[in-house]
Structure 1
Amino acid sequence: MTNTSIASRNKIRIAQQFSRAANTYNSAADVQLDIAFDALAYLPSHYQNGLDIGCGTGRISQQLSTRCDRLIAMDLAFGMLAYAQKNNVVADPSICWLQGDADCLPLADDSVDMLFSSMALQWADNQQKVMAEITRVLAAGSNAILAIMCDGSFKQLNDTWLNIDNHRHVNNFATAQSWCDAARSQGLQVNMQEKRYVTWHQDIRKLLSSIKSIGANVVLKSQNLEPTDARLHQGKNLLNRETLQHLETYYQQKYAENRQLPLTYQVCFLHCSK
């Protein structure tokens, strides 16, 4: 299978899984909301034309729309966009909802002066292509604020799975520095910060459910490795009672504090200017 077809299939799976999670996302995505609000703090002023890449259910898009005259809220998952449009309390004529891919933004060159993305770009398989597209659509003097999951995320879960079998059940996240380098290679000025967030869960089922409920339970295939399609809720061969018990026991013994299981989100914040 070619790299192109693998990437295309990954995108289809990502879009499908997040679309399925649209109805449960807001109730489960507490840490994602915290991260997005932290990212918003890097936006100091008002803009004319904004772009929100990976807008999801539109919670942050509504915040962003108060900071720009016009906002394009874009997501790969049509189900997320449909939910966002249907469930926004007040219809906002300044927001345009758009299905699109960060690898190939459906926008003209130099068309936005503010670009925002929180917890979406880690799904991209080509950092250089994404940053080239971001640079292309940014007008001179504009800003991009990007919050991206990076290396170190889900480290406890990955370690626990590695104790059980040889399959890959957690995605390999790129390093913060590699994202920073990709942005700088396109000529952007970049300031980078990293921050660690930890969520706590009563047991392994609730921990895995916290990932599934936001649609993030897709393990991407690569040209080098064809892993089990580890959608964490399916397949008795993958998550039978015995496997769950092994996960629970190891996780509790190695990582539990006060009988709660931690899950780490390592996030890099890139403030880019053109």
Structure 2
Amino acid sequence: MYLDKAKIKQSFAAASATYDGVADLQRTVGKTLLNIAGSESVAGTLLDLGCGTGFLTSGLLANSTSIVALDIALPMLQVTRTKLATTQNVSYICADAEQLPLAEKIVDGVFSNLALQWCVNLGAVFADIKRVLRPDGQLVFSIFGPQTLQELKSAWAAADDYRHVNDFYSGQQLTHFLRQAGFTKIAIEIRLYNPNYDSVWALMRELKHIGAHNVMAGRNQNITTKAQMQRMIAAYEQHRVGDRVPATFEVIMVKAS
């Protein structure tokens, strides 16, 4: 998987002001992730990896001793800090999840909500998370799976030969990476979410506003032509049901220790 890290940082920094207005799926998944984790996991010192605008950080505050909120995009981190300005037990780090600036065995739990799909080398990320976790510490995360945006991917395939939609790892691949990193207890749950939109444009605007538009390295460097866009939209319209167009988001929930 090839991702342009500079573009990822730029996309999420640009989306910090619009993210909360359109991130319904992220909030829904975050609530589910907290339920899956259970209160026993949401205790001690926790790392919120890829905290975004702080929704999961807020949810983790109930039982934790302290939280480290980490994000690659400084504007996202600043939004979280503003929201939690009256909270004393949160520290903030602007850093890359693939280069954790943390000491060994320093946190009791690592949580991440729909952020790890933007990492280039997940195997190395899981190994580094294992390094910073204390013995018996848990990693709890959600991540997009390979069925995500399958309608958009097939529509673009009808328009040109370039890759416009990011690829995502399967549950089997994630399990392999986690075992390589030293995690032995791994529980996976897969859920499909199917929000509907007024138009293909509405879907694409939402993806842009959450910073989740294409960031693959080696993508088409040319401006997409009007004809290509029209072909893509025409292909996507074949999925329309009534006055709405659907989009599939496959979310993989993982608990590992």
Q: TM-score, normalised by structure 1?
A: 0.88
Superposition deviation, residue 197 in structure 1:
0.9
Q: Which amino acid aligns with 1:238?
A: T
Correspondence for 2:126 = 131
Matches within 5 A, 1:102-141: 102-141=97-136
Q: Is the 8 A contact 2:160 2:228 kept in 1?
A: no
Q: 2:12 matched to 1:12?
A: no
Q: TM-score, normalised by structure 2?
A: 0.94
2:229 to 207, 231, 244: 244
Correspondence for 2:147 = 152
Q: Is the 8 A contact 2:30 2:55 kept in 1?
A: no
Matches within 5 A, 1:1-274: 10-44=4-38, 45=40, 46-86=42-82, 88=83, 90-188=85-183, 189-221=185-217, 226-229=218-221, 237-238=223-224, 240=226, 242-253=227-238, 255-273=239-257
Deviations 1:43-99 (A, max 9, x none): 22241100000100012211112221100010011111112222x065211111111
Q: Is the 8 A contact 1:154 1:265 kept in 2?
A: yes
Q: Is the 8 A contact 1:151 1:176 kept in 2?
A: no
* Whole-Å separation in 1 of the counterparts to 2:131 and 2:63: 22
Superposition deviation, residue 239 in structure 1:
5.3
* Whole-Å separation in 1 of the counterparts to 2:198 and 2:91: 40
Superposition deviation, residue 245 in structure 1:
3.0
Deviations 1:220-244 (A, max 9, x none): 11xxxx2225xxxxx8x4153x443
* Whole-Å separation in 1 of the counterparts to 2:36 and 2:88: 25
Q: Is the 8 A contact 2:48 2:69 kept in 1?
A: yes
Q: Secondary structure at the match of 1:218?
A: coil
Structure 1 stretches lacking a partner, 5+ long = 230-234
Aligned-residue Cα RMSD (Å) equals 1.7
Q: Which amino acid aligns with 2:148?
A: S
Greater Cα shift, 24-33 or 88-97: 88-97
Superposition deviation, residue 247 in structure 1:
2.4
Superposition deviation, residue 160 in structure 1:
0.1
* Whole-Å separation in 1 of the counterparts to 2:157 and 2:123: 30
Q: Which amino acid aligns with 2:220?
A: T
* Whole-Å separation in 2 of the counterparts to 1:49 and 1:155: 38
* Whole-Å separation in 1 of the counterparts to 2:150 and 2:225: 19
Q: Which amino acid aligns with 1:128?
A: G
* Whole-Å separation in 1 of the counterparts to 2:203 and 2:162: 19
* Whole-Å separation in 2 of the counterparts to 1:147 and 1:217: 18
Q: Secondary structure at the match of 1:113?
A: strand
Superposition deviation, residue 195 in structure 1:
0.8
Q: Is the 8 A contact 2:8 2:215 kept in 1?
A: no
Q: Which amino acid aligns with 1:250?
A: A
Q: Is the 8 A contact 2:18 2:210 kept in 1?
A: yes
* Whole-Å separation in 1 of the counterparts to 2:153 and 2:113: 23
* Whole-Å separation in 2 of the counterparts to 1:248 and 1:203: 9
- Report how many residues are paired: 254
Q: Is the 8 A contact 2:13 2:73 kept in 1?
A: yes
Superposition deviation, residue 218 in structure 1:
2.9
Superposition deviation, residue 178 in structure 1:
0.7
